[in-house]
Structure 1
Amino acid sequence: MKILVPVKRVIDYNVKVRVKADGSGVDLANVKMSMNPFDEIAVEEAIRLKEKGVATEVVAVSIGVKQAQETLRTALAMGADRAILIVAADDVHTDIEPLAVAKLLAAVVRDEAPGLVLAGKQAIDNDMNATGQMLSALLGWSQGTFASELEISGDKAKITREVDGGLQTIEVAMPAIVTVDLRLNEPRYASLPNIMKAKKKPLEEKTAADYGVDVTPRLSVVKTSEPAARKAGVKLGSVDELIAKLKDEAGVI
């Protein structure tokens, strides 16, 4: 079975994001970029399935700017077998919208014929949490979202999902789309020998036009602003004082 893993190039999660002075977006100048953390978990899970003998090949795919090659090389260094880069934008500030991404991934799935698509549940830059669900709808495949456990057995996949009320376990028919959550695994670090080997692994470059998909944005950013600063807390001397403030000032009791 072949596994397809979409990965996205995003601002590194350790970087403090700055908003441009004109409010037109976030400043990406000289900012460290890396693989979306949820996608990294998806890559790790795909590699583990290959190590168990469940999968035969892991293919990483990224959609965006040419610089996403670095992200794909990281996936290859972790253990993916080959990669596909779909260049769909020239400007690093252009974010390809989920529907366009899903359409491109659907085209790749039809070409590659994988048995499973493993994706991060969302990207940390826009928090859309929509691409996996849209891809499932376009392909007519089963889907399991927010997976914290995954077990493949024949033509079935058992998925433990993290939901508001706790954990939910479902079984879906393969082929399937599975989006992964934080607690599924701990991604490995790429060793230096594997980083060197990754440079020789195949990385195919295509464009959105090759798949006949229009990636013109349907949304426009009106304004980007910093979140409002939280007010400082207040230390109280007694429980009675706390109750008085909750009653008289906050009006919650």
Structure 2
Amino acid sequence: MAGVLPRHVAIIMDGNGRWAKKRHLPRLAGHRAGVEALRRVARAARAMGIEALTLYAFSSENWRRPEEEVSDLMGLLRVFIKSDLDEMVRDNVRLRIIGDYRRFTSDLVELIDGAIARTAVNTGPMLVIALNYGAQAEIVDVARRMAERARAGTLDPASIDAAMFEDELETRDLPPLDLLIRSSGEVRLSNFLLWQAAYAELLFVDTLWPEFDAETLANAIATFGQRQRRFGGL
């Protein structure tokens, strides 16, 4: 398996706050450093030939954070889109968003919509950002839509299988998830891509997200290449 490249990598970007605390800096400084790490890793993934990179940027639970921190995160998202969009267009990157980002302010929604539209014609690697995303809510929404169709008589419940359910998920047109990485030493999925991670390789690294770089990603890919993926078989 050595040398095998995952088609789809997802990362839970964790550790910005602890990185800042270790340096006696405000949490915003950690989030700013986290954006720089995002840029590094996205570029490295493209250079490696990874087809899709999905990053957990803002969970549906993050609204519980202090209002000032949420506002700072939204501001950094604005800056990232404005500063990096031209590079994504130049590098043939398709920007995708999963999650209910329309809960954000109207100007930020408009900015995100414009970025998605501008990169929609690109044919290269996909950068997928999870914004106001929660995997349990995603699964519940699919189940609710199917239940409504069954009640309306347009869907036979007996016909529902895993493939049909998967086709309703927000990630339906992405390659299957091969590798899910979490930085900062925490060992949990935190409501991220629960369905998609069923047969993904999981890797938990101690590196705090602002310190994550191309070498960290390359090491993760090397570890993936050494795994034996049986998908329930022998």
Query: What is the TM-score of this pair, normalised by structure 2?
Result: 0.36
- Bigger radius of gyration among the two: 1
| TM-score, length of structure 1 as denominator length | 0.34
- Higher RCO (Cα < 8 Å, 6 or more apart): 2
Bigger fraction of residues in helix: 2
